[in-house]
Amino acid sequence: MNDAESCRADVWLWRARFFKTRALAAKHLEAGRIRLIRSGQESRLEKPARPLKVGDRLVFALGGRLVAVQVDALGERRGPAEEARTLYSTLERS
């Protein structure tokens, strides 16, 4: 796995500020609450170390609402919220 082309799922969710800590992101992943759509195939992410790539789509419930996002960038760090928003784009659910 090339680090420049992928990122651990728990790290990306934390960098994108969907979760306050990596541990919370990992717990959500291990519970099977996050779905990954890659190349039209949908699967459940159940391991925090599963790699995410640019173009992947994620669907999960957070705070009582459904979140659907596309990974636009992997990020280098957990930065301010403004920087975190550049890592993904929101998808319209139909």
Which band of pLDDT confidence, cut at 50, 70 and 90, is reported for residue 94?
very low
Query: Would you state the pLDDT for residue 93?
Result: 61
Mean pLDDT computed over 20-39: 96
The answer to whether the pTM exceeds 0.95 is no
Query: Would you state the pLDDT for residue 74?
Result: 97
pLDDT digits (tens, 9 = 90+) for 51-77: 999 999 999 999 899 999 999 999 999
CA dist., res. 65 & res. 58, Å (int):
14
SS3 36: strand
pLDDT digits (tens, 9 = 90+) for 32-47: 999 999 999 999 999 9
Domains in the chain, CATH or no CATH each: 7-90 (3.10.290.10)
CA dist., res. 15 & res. 11, Å (int):
6
